[in-house]
Amino acid sequence: MAIALFQNPEKLQTRLREIPQESGVYLMRDRQDQILYIGKSKSLRNRVRSYFRSSQDLSPRIAMMVQLVYEIEFIVTDTEAEALALEANLIKKHQPYYNVLLKDDKKYPYVCITWSEPYPRIFITRRRRTGDIKDKYYGPYVDSHNLNRTLWIVKRLFPLRQRPKPLFKDRPCLNYNMGLCPGVCQKLISPEDYHKTMEKVAMIFQGRSRELTDSLGAKMIAAAESLDFEKAGVLRDQINTIKNLGADQKVSLPDDTISRDAIALAQDENYTCIQLFQIRAGRLIGRLAFTADSQSESPAMILQRTLEAHYQGCDAVEIPAEIHTQLELPEGDILSAWLSQKRTRKVTISTPQRSSKAELIEMVERNAQYELARIQKQSDRNSQALEALTEILNLPNLPHRIEGYDISHIQGSDAVASQVVFIDGLPAKQHYRHYNIKNPEIKTGHSDDFASLAEVIGRRFRKGLNSENFPDLVMIDGGKGQLSAVMAVITDLGLANDLNVVSLAKKREEIFLPNESEPIGADAEHPGVQLLRRLRDEAHRFAITFHRQKRSNRMQRSHLDEISGLGHHRQKQLIAKFHSVDYIRQATAEQIADTPGIGTKLAQQIYQHFHPAYNS
């Protein structure tokens, strides 16, 4: 039976001797051959050996990782810059768990441009998905208000796609008539020309506004010389608007022609807040924010890793000529070489100690301090609420994971349930789940919230509990009846002694405990009760949203269900192409037959269903 390397000194020493004293990348794997961690070093053997020295001061996260290592692989590179580039590509491809440094807490928004689509969309999101590799994310931005304002202006400055889906099947909407959209839905503009427009928009979020205005200025002069004064006027207005976007964010530096980034952090024993200021032509065009676990790395290494992660997703034109850091980076020379190679021009990394550049770093650090204070205040508020909830419910420990459940339906139709999860008092949407109620007795005209909740709790806990998803508290939306129905299922599963369960009634915000006939005597404004109310409201929102979606899909399919030979899969194909039953009704038999999976004969049946007169 294989054992971890740290438990097998002989095998560990043999493996370490095989690793060369050259620059490169190392990969640590677990028992299942999954990659735990990917790192780089100018000396592979020395770096890997340092993980297994008893005197080495490792962070708790990395110390835990070392105990799981069963095998070590390495890839030798010619230079340290190549090692950094290879490490970045491998991390992006494999996304090892222990390489996570920056927290994706969705506090800060990104701008996404979906370059993978023929007609790219641009929108603001708080979730940086790892979908198509061609899609580009800019951010995360601290000032969401200014970001929304900028995007609003951009969408009125350039004719862009305004809707994710067409409003009409055979004609453009009002946005086209107003000049806000080039008629993407009807393909009145080619994908190539639309991409050229979107490339101009991207330049704004890349910090290349001056380059954009210079390009538009040349086109304006050319249009005026050819007597196309209308086009020249449009270009003039675009130039003026772009220049005014950041007019109130001038930063005073000696040379305002050089692009610069400045990074600093502030931290306590738990949280690290990092701020990155992007300065182009002496103007602050972006203020990005990141958060990290203070125990993950040293402060200087956190700055190093933040810059590596940030610039990995940047195009070459977005990399500045100068980077100023609050602390001297442990591997700043390697990062500088990698960025210079990527940019094809020299990138200087420095830690200024005096003059205006040092004052810039102080300003960035001051902003990081303010952000840290805000996070601490929010954390204190959540801690107080959790402590108050622990007290009124007499829980043995603070509830780390709280799950909330709710039912949504209309007189029994389209019945669904929601499960929402709060981690340390905050929503953890990655753990949310919804359920379709399968009980055949629950149907239109007959609802039973007691049975629905019992079914959902049974499905959730039938497989027992494990340490990864163990809830410290379960909250049911309802009163004594709903709680009793749920406890009957939990008792049958043998979990009555393992789960803390409460219910929260809507009318008087009363909390009920199992086997108690009277509610807990707690004020509705009590911090612990307010936390449960937030959980209950979130469960209700999530349930009703899923219910409306299910009801809408059912109503869309109701006409299609009446057509013989048209199964669920083909219905989905039709809805995906036409977006609604009304558009299918308006389509010709030939247009319907163009749908994947729909032949000429079935298309004729569908057309005849919506046009009975044609059949007669």
Q: What is the pLDDT of residues 236-278, one digit of tens each?
A: 887 887 776 655 555 656 666 788 999 999 999 888 999 999 8
Q: What pLDDT, on a 0 to 100 scale, did the predictor assign at position 421?
A: 93
Q: What pLDDT, on a 0 to 100 scale, did the predictor assign at position 63?
A: 82
21-35, 67-81, 285-299: least confidently modelled range:
285-299
Q: What pLDDT, on a 0 to 100 scale, did the predictor assign at position 616?
A: 46
Angle of the 191-205 helix axis to the 144-157 helix axis, nearest 10: 150
Highest mean pLDDT among 327-331, 507-511, 591-595: 327-331
Phi, psi at 349, each rounded to 5°: -115, 125
Q: Are 475 and 402 in contact (CB under 8 A)?
A: yes
Tens of pLDDT, residues 366-423: 999 998 998 888 888 888 899 999 998 989 889 999 999 999 888 777 888 999 999 8
Calculate mean pLDDT across residues 142-167: 82
Tens of pLDDT, residues 410-437: 877 788 899 999 988 888 888 899 999 8
Q: Are 423 and 432 in contact (CB under 8 A)?
A: no
- As a whole number of Å, the end-to-end CA separation of the chain is 77
Q: Which residue has the tokens 């205040």?
A: 377
Tens of pLDDT, residues 577-599: 887 777 888 888 888 888 888 88
Angle, CA 300 vertex, CA 294 and CA 305 arms, to 5°: 80
Tell me the residue type at 442: I
The whole-angstrom separation of Cα 377 and Cα 271 is: 12
The whole-angstrom separation of Cα 579 and Cα 169 is: 9
- What domains are defined for the chain? 5-99 (3.40.1440.10), 110-245 (no CATH), 260-272+296-310+319-373 (no CATH), 401-551 (3.30.420.340), 562-615 (1.10.150.20)
The whole-angstrom separation of Cα 45 and Cα 26 is: 9
Q: Are strands 473-477 and 401-410 parallel, antiparallel or unpaired?
A: parallel
Q: What pLDDT, on a 0 to 100 scale, did the predictor assign at position 549?
A: 82
More reliable by pLDDT, 187 or 104: 187
Q: Are 376 and 270 in contact (CB under 8 A)?
A: no
Report DSSP state, residue 99: G
Structure confidence at residue 327 as a pLDDT band (50, 70, 90)? very high
The whole-angstrom separation of Cα 258 and Cα 350 is: 14
Q: 173 vs 117, 216, 436, 580, CA distance in Å?
A: 20, 28, 36, 16
More reliable by pLDDT, 209 or 253: 209
DSSP code per residue over 128-140: -----TT-EEE--
The whole-angstrom separation of Cα 525 and Cα 133 is: 47
Q: Which helix (H) or strand (E) holds 64?
A: helix 60-66
Name the average pLDDT for the chain: 85
Structure confidence at residue 326 as a pLDDT band (50, 70, 90)? very high
Tell me the residue type at 5: L
Q: Are 438 and 456 in contact (CB under 8 A)?
A: no
The whole-angstrom separation of Cα 398 and Cα 142 is: 31
The whole-angstrom separation of Cα 199 and Cα 195 is: 6
Above 50 in pLDDT, residue 498?
yes
Structure confidence at residue 351 as a pLDDT band (50, 70, 90)? very high
Residue 92: half-sphere exposure toward Cβ, Cα within 13 Å: 16
Phi, psi at 11, each rounded to 5°: -65, -35
Q: What pLDDT, on a 0 to 100 scale, did the predictor assign at position 369?
A: 94
Residues near 161 by beta carbon (within 8 Å), at least 6 away in sequence: 119, 120, 121, 122, 181, 184, 194
Structure confidence at residue 170 as a pLDDT band (50, 70, 90)? confident
The whole-angstrom separation of Cα 344 and Cα 317 is: 10
Cβ count within 10 A of residue 287? 18
4-13, 37-46, 542-551, 576-585: least confidently modelled range:
576-585
Residues near 577 by beta carbon (within 8 Å), at least 6 away in sequence: 594, 595
